[in-house]
A and B are shown apart, each in its own frame.
Chain A
Amino acid sequence: MMEKDKLRKADIFSGSLIALFGLWVVSQALKMPMKDSWGGVQNVWFVSPALFPLFVGAMITLLGAFLIRTALKAVGRAGLRDVLGWLASRELANYLRSAANLRFYAMLVLLFSYVFMAIPRVDFFACSVLFLMAFISMFYFDDDALLKKLFGCYLALTAGLLLFFIFGLPQTLEATLPYAGDWLTLACIGIYGLFTWRSIRSIPPLRKKYRLSLILAFAAPFSIGPIFKYFLLVPMPTEGLIVAAMDAIWYWDF
């Protein structure tokens, strides 16, 4: 959480966003049937589906407005001017480029690429290894310069994978190369692993960390995944090359 003074300044903006959001909720609720007929039922205001969202939206708007008022009372007009000045200054750019924010962006890219791009399209085990390998190595080395370098590499690989899926190449290649997306992800794991090794090989303490991050990146999905897949009978989000290989082993008729 921020300091009190900064919080009050931030409250002006969060309060505004919340009040606007509340107004949007009210505007959407007003489009719902209030006294019209819906599904053959003639509505009255007190059973309307709009009633509760209207109440919630109105309360959010009201509380957002109260928050703005409280914040303005605490920081005054001068405080508001400071905030607006800060938003227009170079300090904002410096803040956005800070090491802490770089770590935040790295996490966002890692999580969003894993959830929105990889999980629905790539074999669960392959994409989880790539995700964990990148995530653990970026943060475990505890070096912002290295994190920037590794993040750049991961970003490039993710962009490549994204283009591969956007252009529908897995479907095009399906006949000649089954599980093309999975193979490409495995290649990305290899490239990322090599790139990381090249970046840290001259620093002995990081070599140990590299080995550990590699071991964990493989061990975690391959110990948690089978519990869900074979013991709890939960199918993986996407079952591709690795799951097929595991199935072949698990259901092997000895």
Chain B
Amino acid sequence: MMIFDRIGDFFGIVVSIAADPINLAILFGSVLLGIMFGAMPGLTSTLGVALLTALTYGMDTSLAMVCLLAIYVGGTYGGSYASILINIPGTAAAAATALDGYPLACKGEGGRAIGLTTTASAIGTSISMLFVVSISPIISHFALQFTSFEFFLLAFFGILISGTLTSPDLVIKGWIAGFLGLFLACVGRDLLQFYPRFTFGYTELDSGVEVVPVLIGAFGIPQIIQVLRDRFAIGETQKLQRIIPEIGMVIRNIPAIVRSALIGVGIGAVPGIGEDIAGWVSYGTAKNTARNPDDFGKGELKGVLASETANNACVGGAMIPLLNLGIPGSPPAAMLLGALMLHGVQPGPMITFEHPTFIMEVAAILLLASMAMFVSGMLLAKQVVKVLRIPTQIFMPIIGMLCIIGSYSLGLNIFNLYLMLPVGIICYFLTQMGYPIAPLVIGVILGPMADENLRRALMVSQGSFLPIFQRPVSLILFVIIVWTVVSQFEWFRNAKRAALQKILNRKGSCEATLEENESETP
């Protein structure tokens, strides 16, 4: 009965959001803006969410969420346009789509490929929405049992795993980026004793570094510099024919869609891991399980279907830890967390008590955004792809100005700009040297949570770390953290391999003895 009540409540919220024309106008406008952001190589959905956060500052929370989630969903989907039509992923999330999307466009099936990505993305988002609704209460209930040690370990795990999985070079660089983020989070008066840390006498730093300007700097400025320094140019666009929704293809591949969506949701739920990894993992799985894997990379529709379903399913997946634990599942979700904090909503286990309908609202917005994305994709794709003709040298300076006015408008503080620009330049150098930015951002966001909970936990235990080993959840988290760290070392991998070999050899010798015994018995 309770489940039916929840379903009833959910559709009630969907109708109430959809019934307001302002909500609908903002929903479609933001989705379209997101598609444009995603389609333009060099711009990302994270940057789109970051810039739109400034515009939503004055809106009420639910309208702001409509705006931000819609641009996130649209941006994740929009990346496929550039992947398919010019073989350059509009966003990292759509990189796997280019492998089969572009050959399809070259064969004159670009419209078919975009039709399929539109349908797959809408289905991926809708499936992930189901997980947000169904899993959130369980995680929230579970998280209520957490004490300060668990929250500290969870924040620490989020930073470590994000560093481990997003690093394009050495894993150690991902961890360094995470700790640099934690350092930035230390700046300002500490939350327990109000002692000024690393403020150098600047009163503007007393309240700590403002998260949103730091995020805008970290994601926006390196992008601008990279694109213009390396003279990035958009190639020739392939022709786009009639866009077909490919419903038949979708129905024939329901198991593959469900598998890709599950991959997307699962990867999205891991802290700090973005849509790009979901797309690649799903594409790899589809290729490995296909009857004809050699067709992948030559214009296989199933490849496009797998990556696009997964990267959009990641959006909902990223919402699960964000809403229930206050830990962002992806870089755009980190931006969303910043925006939520600006609106006075503190995500975490208490969210179901403080804002009882909030998770339902988020799920409803995701559903509506996926519908708006489907409609916009089907009707306006031909118009939207015209943005691919705009040279990067024109829109990047304008994005630069938007980053600056956006950072200023959040708090009306010029000091935010003094912070945003150096952070952006440092992040550019870090990116050039193979350090990922996502763990740094996650570190900035989770730093206060880690700091406060570590000290609070130690205060309760009077300086003892023993409770970590006495509580099952913290013990599991501790073991996972240790495993994550040591599994990166060569000696550990060698030892693991040797141990496995030993077990296999023993098993092999046992089987051989058994066979011998069997052959000896008359």
Contact = CB atoms under 8 A, between A and B. Distances in A.
A139 interface: yes
Given A44-B463, A115-B418, A107 B228 contact: yes
B182 interface: yes
Given A32-B197, A33-B195, A25 B172 contact: no
Interface in A30-53: 32-33, 38-39, 41, 43-49, 51-53
Interface string B180-204: 1011001000101111011000000
Task: Name the interface size band of chain A.
Answer: 35 or more
Contacts of A111: 221, 400, 421
Contact of B404 (A4, A52, A119): A119
A76 B228 CA distance: 35
Nearest to B410: A234
Contacts of B170: 11, 67, 70
A52 B451 contact: yes
Given A51-B454, A111-B400, A132-B398, A120 B414 contact: yes
Interface residues of B, number: 63
Given A46-B455, A115-B404, A56 B418 contact: no
A224 B458 contact: no
A140 interface: yes
B381 interface: no
Contacts of A38: 193, 195
Given A11-B433, A49-B192, A140-B394, A70 B172 contact: yes
Interface string A166-177: 000000000000
A224 B394 CA distance: 16
Per DSSP, are chain B's interface residues mostly helix, strand or loop, or mixed?
A: helix
A120 B421 CA distance: 14
B254 interface: no
Interface string B361-391: 0000000000000000000000000000001
Contact of B198 (A7, A28, A128, A234): A28
Contacts of A72: none
A42 to B, nearest CB: 11
Contacts, number: 170
Contacts of B55: 227, 232
B408 interface: yes
Interface in B157-193: 168-170, 172-173, 175-176, 179-180, 182-183, 186, 190, 192-193
Contacts of B225: 104, 107
Given A46-B459, A132-B401, A18 B183 contact: no
A228 interface: yes
B393 A139 contact: yes
A41 B54 CA distance: 40
B393 A10 contact: no
Nearest to A114: B404
A100 B183 contact: no
Given A28-B198, A64-B176, A66-B172, A135 B58 contact: no
B361 to A, nearest CB: 23
Interface of B: 54-55, 57-58, 168-170, 172-173, 175-176, 179-180, 182-183, 186, 190, 192-195, 197-198, 221, 224-225, 228-231, 391, 393-394, 396-398, 400-402, 404-405, 408-409, 412, 414, 417-418, 420-421, 425, 431-435, 450-451, 454-455, 458-459, 462-463
6 contacts: A52-B454, A57-B183, A60-B179, A216-B398, A224-B401, A234-B58
Given A49-B193, A52-B451, A139-B228, 5 more contacts: A46-B455, A103-B231, A115-B421, A232-B58, A234-B409
Interface of A: 1-2, 4, 7, 10-11, 14, 18, 25, 28-29, 32-33, 38-39, 41, 43-49, 51-53, 55-57, 59-60, 63-64, 66-67, 70, 100-101, 103-104, 107-108, 111-112, 114-116, 119-120, 124, 128, 131-132, 135-136, 139-140, 142, 212-213, 216, 220-221, 224-225, 227-228, 232-235, 237
Top 8 A-B pairs, shortest CB-CB distance: A46-B458, A135-B397, A49-B195, A49-B190, A139-B393, A52-B451, A46-B463, A140-B393
